[in-house]
Amino acid sequence: MFYGTDLSSRLMLGTAQYPSPAVLREAITASGAEVITVSLRREGKDGGAFRDILKDSGCRILPNTAGCHTAGEAVTTARMARELFGTSWIKLEVIGHADTLQPDPFALVEAARILCADGFDVFPYTTEDLIVGERLLEAGCKVLMPWGAPIGSGQGLRNIEGLRAMRAHFSGIPLVIDAGIGSPSQAAQAMEMGFDAVLLNTAVAKALDPVQMARAFGQAVAAGQMAYTAGLMPRRDMAHASTPVFGMAELLP
């Protein structure tokens, strides 16, 4: 549940970089996603037509502050997005490093505090740092979105142990893996670890067949969630036979 909203799909899909509006529309449908993200940077001369696609999808829109490098920029962008899309949901991005696109934790917390006080439901794009996560919750966030790897890198879950620690530390908080997911297997892995959702864009939009890839991600996320709730077998250091040798008949020569 995210800010009081229950979702049946655990996949959140970005809407940038698709080869055509038609492909975007088909990919959203094929993915089964119920939440789609959009940046105000898409609002150019064809902004009205683009918004029609988003509206027709029937999905919940999660605007984002992509491209912002200061808390002030992010706050201003979020307020514009609320007016434009009519939603209090905002994916908060405040980039601090140009090469890795790693979020600036200080500006991120500052912007989150302002936006939460202003009535926004903030989805902060952050790292797996536990202290930053604590500060974001203190600022009023009720969801955390740690990166799997740098945006668009396709590296998957680069810090497995750090993400496991975050999942264990914030056991009652919805956590969404955001950024760096490059394949359906990586998305399934995140869900098997107990994360609540996965948000991705490039891996679908830049695929040879975005529609087929969107369908694959939707099924992978669902499979990972199903496996987690079913209870994954623990890893063992030694082999463990499925048929025990104790109690078996001993055949003498």
pLDDT at 141: 97
CA distance readout (Å), 8 to 24, 181, 218, 221, 252: 21, 21, 11, 11, 59
Q: Residue 170 in contact with residue 199, Cβ under 8 Å?
A: no
Edge-to-edge strand order for the sheet containing 35-39?
145-146, 121-126, 89-92, 60-64, 35-39, 11-14, 197-200, 176-178
Residues with catalytic annotation?
Answer: 91
CA distance readout (Å), 39 to 77, 117, 226: 9, 22, 31
179 is in an annotated binding site: yes
64 is in an annotated binding site: no
pLDDT tens track of the chain, all 253 residues? 899 899 999 999 999 999 999 999 999 999 999 999 998 765 555 566 777 888 888 899 999 999 999 999 999 999 999 999 999 999 999 999 888 889 999 999 999 999 999 999 999 999 999 999 999 999 999 999 999 999 999 999 999 999 999 999 999 999 999 999 999 999 999 999 999 999 999 999 999 999 999 999 999 999 999 999 999 888 888 787 777 666 666 666 6
pLDDT at 55: 82
pLDDT at 166: 97
Rounded to two decimals, the pTM is 0.89
180 is in an annotated binding site: yes
Tokens linked to 59: 């999905």
Phi, psi dihedral angles at 193 (to 5 degrees) = -80, -5
pLDDT at 90: 97
pLDDT at 58: 87
- Rounded to an integer, what distance in angstroms lies between the CA atom of residue 161 and that of residue 150? 17
Maximum distance among all Cα pairs of the chain, rounded to whole angstroms: 86
